[in-house]
Chain A
Amino acid sequence: MSGARPKLVGQSIARKEDGPLLRGQGLFAADVNFPNQLHMRVVRSTYAHGRILSVDLAPALAIPGVHAAWAFADVADIPPIDFRLTKLEQLAAYRQTILAKDRVRYVGDPVAVVFADDPYLAEDAAEHVAVEIEELPVILHADGEVGEFREGLPTEPAIIRKGYGDIDAAFAAAHATVSLSLSIGRHSGVPLETRGSIGRYVASTDMLEMYGAAKVPHWNRDQIARMLGRSPASVNLFEGHVGGGFGVRGELYPEDVLVCLAAIRLGRPVKWIEDRRENLIATNHSRQQTHHIRAAIDRDGRILAIDDEFYHDQGGYMRTHAATVPDLAAAMLPGPYRVPAYRAVGHIRLTNKTPGGTYRAPGRYESTFVRERLLDAIAAKVGVDGVEIRRRNLIDKSEMPVTRALETLGTDIVLDSGDYARLLDKALDGVSWPELQAVIAQRRSDGELVGAGVAMFVEKSGLGPFDDVHITIDITGHVEVVTGAASVGQGVETVIAQICADTLGVNYDDINVIHGQTNRIARGLGAFASRVTVMTGEATRLAAVKLRDRVLAVASELLQSPAADLDIVNGLIVRSGISAGPSIKLAQIAAALAPGSTLLGNDEPGLSAEASFESKHMVYPYGVHIAVVSLARDTGAIDIERYLVAYDIGKAVNPMLVEGQIVGGVAQGIGGALYEEFTYDDRGEPLAVTFADYLMPTAREVPHIDVIISEDAPSPLNPMGLKGAGEGGTNAVGAAIAAAIDDALGQPGAITRLPVSPQMIKAMLRK
């Protein structure tokens, strides 16, 4: 590659995506319409647990404009929705059918559907479906007695077990042990765009289409095909704009399958747009866990062993993520510390609440809270501060790479690179830690309740096993990069175009990046696990290198110069280092390779290249969060005065986007730490079904976030050194805020559950 040209990778280039969004030309699911479409409305259970005695569709069907209505009997031939990740055999019996069979298991469980000419009529008609349910006792706590899911099936289908080393010996030899019981509240990603699916069957070509796809269109295509008994080649999914993903959006849900089935059966396009109440009870919940953790330590507070037993509240069914969240919680819990012996036992429990799935930093928001609370407790036990205890336990960079004897998501955990202590120093410098401590001490002596907390974590990113990219230059010189990635708003087009522009030598503006279209590329893994920049990014680079070689080979013949002397600059092939002289446009090269060209020889016509990047291991970015909070003595109000995130990403393709990911992630972390919780009454009735009750933090509650983007530890697993950015902003927020609140209260270990409310603070102040 030529060295002189200014590189786009590493620069905060303005987003390719923003034009249509800022001009109001976005195409979200609700913007998709087809002539003659029907509207689907789901009839949902109003009971958290019950036996379905009868479903009478006739009153709804009698309403003019209602074209069909189904209950389970009408869809009994459709298999339940399968697992995408972390499949465990014993979980299969707990999968969700697209309509409830004989029992309802949470308020919101789909029992029937109605199809009508307009969405108002559909909602009116849904009220006329008469559902008779015999209420059954509910299970609302994951850590109580194991109950019965159905005859012969316990509500604890599996236990996740991970670990290594001799735990019992470590505890026997310990100077001291520290034990905590901690819990994380039920909350989730709540995209401002609710879910939506539009199914359309094109009889003339026998093609089934689904619009409103996101995150994992190829996997969903294959599943819809399998469930409906079709060839995957006869099903296509199309992703438009996505108003927030966060893990929940784009997974395969019952409604997605129902619109596709209805489009085929009813011969009309079928549209379903989730309303907000549905969104808060039907889309995946996440996070709810209770941990009982203990550490064996030596006299200096060095960890000898960690032993954790936890209960994961899965809700009513096992959905597409199967055991992913508890698996990640267990696998990632050791974090950036030396942990000579480790054991995690995670109980997966079904309860009568909305089913769970992944949410940004799944398992890690939870286990970072637990681990960092443990570190703070160890610090208190041995009488050192939270920074010192972390320094004593951090893995040193000389130990890298570190193989953890743990596996998750089908990969062995090998911490590929990192200088954790250095990033801690950067973060402490970022808040002028000694001066901050002095200010806090002064304010406390003036009677204020103010404190600071530090939390550290290791993230995982770049999950393989593969990604494909296909780049084509057409006869106008336009560059099209077709990927199997998906965009949930994170800037995929921008990042991929930056990498392509640099590698190929073309203008950023001449590149169009395709994602989320199953008709354009045979396979693709989509957007989750902070994987796209790493996997699709490197596949793009590989394809661009191939294409560049092809361009230069052809140009070499046309220009009668050795390829090694040629360069591509802004889409023009020139002699390296010579400003004047012969040149040729990429468009001309593409034209020269048209079918029938004598230049082709044995090659395929057209100017394109394809590459795959395969990776068996994830890459592990890491970070430090520092929070400063003050508490109001009279109301218990919690004010985050300052928040800093230091994050080592290996190599930032677009620092602005990395910062955006981190800041947005922190906002969601603050939600889980202080505001957001799906609460239920004792009959399992959800209490947070509007934005008046499910409290998402707004601009007024989220402080300015200082972000330090560090590039100390490029990944050795890909040439650009890339690691992912999606989840590090969220990961440690609960942990850092809990530590800061403890400090402000002057009560080490006071915070044992999230979210923390002013009422809880007030109760602690009364002590």
Chain B
Amino acid sequence: MKPAPFTRHVPKTIDEVVSALAEFAPQDGRILAGGQSLVPIMAFRMARPTHLIDINEVEGLDRIAIDGDYLSIGARARHGAFHKPVIDGVLGKLLAFVVSHIAHYPIRMRGTFCGSLAHADPSSEWCLVAATLGAQLVVKSVRGERIVAVEDFLEGIMSTSLAEDEFLAEARLPLLPADTQFGFYEFSRRAGDFAMAAALVTYRLVDGVIVDAHVGIGGAEDRPRRIAEAEAVLNGQAPSPDLFVAAGEAAADAVEPLEDILTTAEYRCDLVRAVTRRALERSLP
């Protein structure tokens, strides 16, 4: 469990990052941010990049700040930065609630928000947050900059639309109206494990009925996504236990669950049903 040989590059600016990436990506160069996913798979030699472009010394990449109507999260903003709300309002609280579910404390001190998105593990909490809230992702390369919607960014299990010379420089999360309710629930065998299913819901209550429901499901399919069928059940209805059960049913019916040697599709659907309902229960004021 010692990684294969590699060369580490330590750029100081974003320009240096993208030029290094342009130069080394064709030789299997990778960005190193927090390293909490990449380094273990390198230790197993399941990944063996010959060059690592270490962004830990690039000035300003840990920026987390409001820019207009969204929250900007820099490429090196670490999970631990979200333990306390990073901004006033619902979004800061939502991120602080979700972050405590990510792995374990030492990992949160090192791993990064954007790194999780770029790694695109289906059970990633941040991928679920990005998918549910509709994140915009700022991608840079020597060829320039493009902004990608999260649904066009996450492509599958550990697969994104990043080109090999592109660098996820920033994630933008839309700010949430002050009357937004949110609820999050994830299920795993042990505390801190990868979620076997997770749900994040947000909505507004207008005159006692649900408006603008977002129901995101992670860990159950090849990538987190919003489940329109469950949102349709909720929109225009007053919150109630029966409604939440119905939304859970709709989510379970809508997903195409991942199966593996230890987890059946049927059980994964059970979990989707459960986490959706539980997330909705937690959303109540």
Contacts and interface: CB of A to CB of B under 8 A. Distances in A.
Interface of A: 119-120, 123-124, 127, 275-277, 632, 634-637, 675, 679, 681, 687, 690, 692, 695, 697-698, 700-701, 757-759, 762-763
Top 6 nearest A-B pairs (CB, nearest first) are A634-B274, A700-B191, A275-B1, A759-B267, A120-B2, A123-B2
Interface stretch (B108-116, B127-135, B216-224, B256-264): B256-264
Interface residues of B, number: 27
B4 interface: yes
B208 interface: no
A276 B273 contact: no
Contact of B2 (A119, A675, A681): A119
B187 interface: yes
Interface in B33-52: 40, 44-45
B189 A675 contact: yes
B187 A277 contact: no
B196 to A, nearest CB: 9
Given A675-B190, A681-B261, A698-B191, A634 B267 contact: no
A700 B261 contact: no
Contacts, number: 63
B192 A759 contact: no
15 contacts: A119-B2, A120-B2, A275-B2, A276-B1, A277-B1, A675-B189, A679-B262, A690-B44, A692-B194, A695-B189, A698-B190, A700-B191, A701-B191, A758-B267, A762-B267
B1 A634 contact: no
Given A692-B194, A695-B193, A698-B191, A634 B270 contact: yes
A119 B191 CA distance: 33
A635 B274 contact: yes
A700 B194 contact: no
B79 interface: no
A635 to B, nearest CB: 5
B25 interface: no
A350 to B, nearest CB: 23
A700 B192 contact: yes
Contact of B190 (A275, A679, A695): A695
Contacts of A695: 189-190, 193
Contact of B270 (A127, A275, A636, A679): A636
Contacts of A763: 267
B5 interface: yes
A288 B1 CA distance: 28
Contact of B189 (A123, A687, A690, A758): A758
A124 B190 CA distance: 34
B187 A697 contact: no
Interface in B254-285: 261-264, 267, 270-271, 273-275, 277-278
B263 A759 contact: yes
A176 to B, nearest CB: 37
A123 B4 CA distance: 8
A695 B194 CA distance: 12
B2 A637 contact: no
Interface string B5-44: 1000000000000000000000000000000000010001
B41 to A, nearest CB: 10
Nearest to A277: B1
Contacts of A759: 262-264, 267
A415 B262 CA distance: 42
A758 B271 CA distance: 10
A700 B190 contact: yes
A675 B191 CA distance: 12
A423 B1 CA distance: 48
B270 A124 contact: no
B280 to A, nearest CB: 12
A426 B71 CA distance: 60
Q: Which of B2, B40, B44 has the most CB of A within 10 A?
A: B2
Contacts of B3: 120
Given A634-B278, A701-B191, 19 more contacts: A119-B2, A275-B2, A277-B44, A632-B274, A635-B270, A635-B274, A636-B270, A637-B187, A681-B261, A690-B44, A692-B194, A697-B190, A698-B190, A698-B192, A700-B191, A700-B192, A759-B262, A762-B267, A763-B267
A636 B5 CA distance: 45
Contacts of B274: 632, 634-635
A763 B267 CA distance: 8
A43 to B, nearest CB: 13
Given A277-B44, A695-B189, A698-B190, A635 B271 contact: yes
B220 to A, nearest CB: 13
A117 to B, nearest CB: 13
Nearest to B185: A635
Contacts of B191: 698, 700-701
Given A124-B4, A276-B1, A681-B261, A762 B190 contact: no
A701 B267 CA distance: 21
B195 to A, nearest CB: 12
Contacts of A687: 261-262
Contacts of A681: 261
A190 B96 CA distance: 34
A124 B2 CA distance: 9
Contacts of A697: 190
A156 B90 CA distance: 65
B189 A692 contact: no
A634 B144 CA distance: 49
A450 B275 CA distance: 21
A602 B278 CA distance: 84
Nearest to A697: B190
B13 to A, nearest CB: 31
Contacts of B1: 123, 275-277
B190 A635 contact: no
A690 B194 CA distance: 13
Contacts of B267: 636, 758-759, 762-763
Interface string B211-251: 00000000000000000000000000000000000000000
Contacts of B261: 679, 681, 687
B185 to A, nearest CB: 10
A690 B1 CA distance: 11
Contacts of B190: 675, 695, 697-698, 700-701
A690 B41 CA distance: 11
B226 to A, nearest CB: 22
A701 B263 CA distance: 20
Q: Which of B190, B273, B274, B278 has the most CB of A within 10 A?
A: B190
B273 A634 contact: yes
Q: Which of B189, B194, B264 has the most CB of A within 10 A?
A: B189
A692 B263 CA distance: 15
A681 B261 CA distance: 8
A124 B4 CA distance: 7
A124 B1 CA distance: 10
Contacts of A690: 40, 44
A635 B273 CA distance: 9
A763 B194 CA distance: 22
A694 B128 CA distance: 25
Nearest to A682: B261
A697 B262 CA distance: 18
A428 B191 CA distance: 31
Nearest to A698: B190
Nearest to B187: A635
Interface in B125-157: none
A692 B2 contact: no
A120 B6 CA distance: 12
B191 to A, nearest CB: 4
Contacts of A635: 187, 270-271, 274-275
Contacts of B4: 124, 127
A277 B263 CA distance: 23
A541 B187 CA distance: 54
A634 B190 CA distance: 17
A183 B105 CA distance: 37
Q: Which of A275, A632, A681, A759 has the most CB of B within 10 A?
A: A759
A692 B104 CA distance: 12
